Amino acid sequence: MSELVRLEVEDSIATLRLDRPRMNALNTELTEGIRAAAEEASRRRDVAAVVVYGGEQVFAAGADIKEMQPLGYSESLLLGGRLQQALDEVAAIPKPTVAAITGYALGGGCELALACDFRIAAEDAQLGQPEILLGLIPGAGGTQRLPRLIGPARAKDLIYSGRFVDAAEALRIGLVDEVVPAAEVYATARRRMSRYVGAAAIALRAAKEAVDRGLETDLATGQKIERALFSGLFATEDRTLGMTSFIENGPGKAKFEGR
């Protein structure tokens, strides 16, 4: 894993920590570090949930423009593919994830936040997809994940204009889920993820897959995906534990084992 990215695990919550001074610009090394850290978080059984965090000052201010500027067509295909792959790996983490956003989440940084299940922003945070101001469009999921999250018209407004969105507007349009003082962003993100520690991990995995795959298809196909995943959970020990505990002790008291 890159020295620019750390995966720190405490009390079953992993922090995928970006640490490239000064603005966490997404260069090749940082991108590869994100991919590797997301893959590790996915496979580790001691990780129940993940916080993606850029530190107290900034989440990620976008791609490294100095690295991108001299690229031609073929090189840009490779660079864009690596960034897409890294953020797809974050989106595919089969556990709850939250972006803890301080400072700027712009361009690729905003796309990284979009790859998470939830987003918590500091009161002074700013988000956006300003690629149009460079003569480009978002290239790591922004044109796809953003309209699925906030609707096509609002997504087009942000993508076409390249304007920044403050935390209050981001909350109003559904781009973030919660706004808190900057000093409380990380702690709030950890508290949100703590509710999944000790939960039915296989059922959470199935729920995430059902929602994410269902959004990519029509309703009838989505329901088939849901039905298959629902039925499959009847083969797990957690389902037996959950139903037995419900019958014997009432709801919410089961102790799950992740099997």
Within 10 angstroms of residue 197's Cβ, the number of other Cβ atoms is 14
Q: Is 28 left (phi over 0), alpha (psi -120 to 50) or beta?
A: alpha
Query: What strand order describes the sheet that includes 97-101?
Result: 5-10, 13-18, 49-53, 97-101, 118-122, 178-180
DSSP state, 161? H
Residue 128 in contact with residue 110, Cβ under 8 Å? yes
Residue 202 in tokens: 């296989």
Residue 146 in contact with residue 158, Cβ under 8 Å? yes
Q: Are strands 104-106 and 118-122 parallel, antiparallel or unpaired?
A: unpaired
Q: Which residues are bridge partners to 128 per DSSP? A: 106
Residue 85 in contact with residue 47, Cβ under 8 Å? no
Q: At what angle are helices 152-161 and 142-150 packed, to 10 degrees? A: 140
Closest CA to 192 of 41, 48, 17: 48
DSSP state, 134? G
Task: Give the residue numbers marked as catalytic.
Answer: 111, 131
Q: Which residues are bridge partners to 121 per DSSP? A: 101, 179
Residue 20 in tokens: 């490239």
